[in-house]
Amino acid sequence: MIRLAIYGKGGIGKSTTASNLSLAFAQMGLRVLQVGCDPKADSTLLLRQGQPCPSILEMLKEKGPLHIKLSDMVIQGEGGVYLCEAGGPPPGQGCAGRGIVKALQELEKQKAYETYQIDMVIYDVLGDVVCGGFSMPIRDGYAENVFIITSGERMALHAAKNIYLAVDHFKERGYAQLSGVILNKRNVDHEEEKIQKFCNEIDAPFAGALSFSHEVQRADDELKTATEKYPDGDMRKEYQKLAASVLRLSVPAKKEMTW
């Protein structure tokens, strides 16, 4: 099993990339679980034609911890990808980090990874690692690999640097390694050079680049992945290439979950 967490600045295209990667991995024959770790619970929308996936925290609230079943939390979407959303409190309220901790613990408790015999887990985590809860997906026993998505824009690179610092800080604890940086192009001048320079600075591999493409935007407007909407399109090929690179750069799970 390979477990990876995708981090990056808000709006950089984490969920879109995660969903297309999930589909690409599924098309390689892997059993994929995509876990949305954002209180907005919108990571998996593109793999469900825009239909929201009921979040684990919502389920816990409605059904109670003794009555929630694995099949309530994990559902299958496009291409047979298993999907779930951690969820969280309404904006400005509660503790979103705590919500992620709770949701991931519930998945562990209910043996999600074992039951569905998952080969690839993708944790799609929101913007910045602002508190302990958001570092949960990269802890020992969860994802071993972190991929940062960034463009060449200054603020995106700033966020990427902060994420790198968090990952580096936790290195001594045996948390996830930084396995690569993904460039999601915004057509900024010298964009690839900037990212290469950033990768050199932080000593991280460059995992690949995704073009700034109308295919992705049009598919997004229809609440689909570009992989699904344009099966013969250029972007599908780019996502496949990126998936192969991510696979190559990722280390396998060093141990199974400790349930």
Partner 1 sequence: MVDLHHIDYSTFSIPIAKANKTNLFYEGLQFNPPAHGVWNIVHQGFLIPCSHQIFICGDGCMRGVVLTAYEAGREKDFSSIILDESNVIEGTMEEQIIEGASDILSRMKVKPKAVEMFSTCIHYFTGCDLAYCYGVLRKRFPSVFFTDCYMTPITRNSGITPDEKMRMQLYSLLEKPEERDNGLTLLGNNYPMDASCDFPQLIQKSGRHFRDITETKTWEDYQELATSEMFVYSQPTAQKGAEKTVDTLGGTLYNYPLSYDITVLEAANTAWAKRLNVEPLDADKDKRLIEMRLNQLSEKLKGWQVSIDYTATPAHFSLAKLLLTHHIDVKNIYCLAVGSEEKESFDYLKQQYPDLILACPSHPAARFLHQKQDHLLAIGQKAAYFEGTNQFVNMIENSGLTGLKGILTLIDLMEDAMENAKPVEEIITQKGWGCPHE
Is 9 annotated as catalytic? Answer: yes
For the beta carbon of residue 122, count every other beta carbon within 10 angstroms: 28
Is 14 annotated as catalytic? Answer: yes
Q: Is 258 helix (H, G, I), strand (E, B) or coil?
A: coil
Residue 75 bridge partners (DSSP): 83
CB proximity list for 60: less than 8 A, separation 6 or greater: 68, 102, 106
Is 221 annotated as catalytic? Answer: no
In the complex, the residues that contact partner 1 under the rule CB under 8 A are: 64-66, 95, 97-98, 100-101, 131-133, 135-136, 139-141, 173-174, 258
Q: Is 15 helix (H, G, I), strand (E, B) or coil?
A: helix
Residue closer to partner 1 by CB (options 133, 152) is 133
Judge whether 39 and 244 are in contact, CB under 8 Å: no
Q: Cβ 140 to partner 1, closest distance in Å?
A: 6
Q: Cβ 174 to partner 1, closest distance in Å?
A: 7
Catalytic residue among 9, 102, 194, 229: 9
Q: Cβ 97 to partner 1, closest distance in Å?
A: 6
Catalytic residue among 42, 128, 185, 241: 128
Q: Which two tokens stand for residue 47?
A: 């793999």
Q: Cβ 30 to partner 1, closest distance in Å?
A: 28
| Rounded Cα–Cα distance for residues 145 and 179 (Å) | 5
| Rounded Cα–Cα distance for residues 151 and 137 (Å) | 23
Which residue bears the tokens 């876990």?
35
Residue closer to partner 1 by CB (options 56, 101) is 101
Residue closer to partner 1 by CB (options 70, 247) is 70
Residue closer to partner 1 by CB (options 85, 220) is 85
Give the residue numbers marked as catalytic: 9, 14, 40, 128
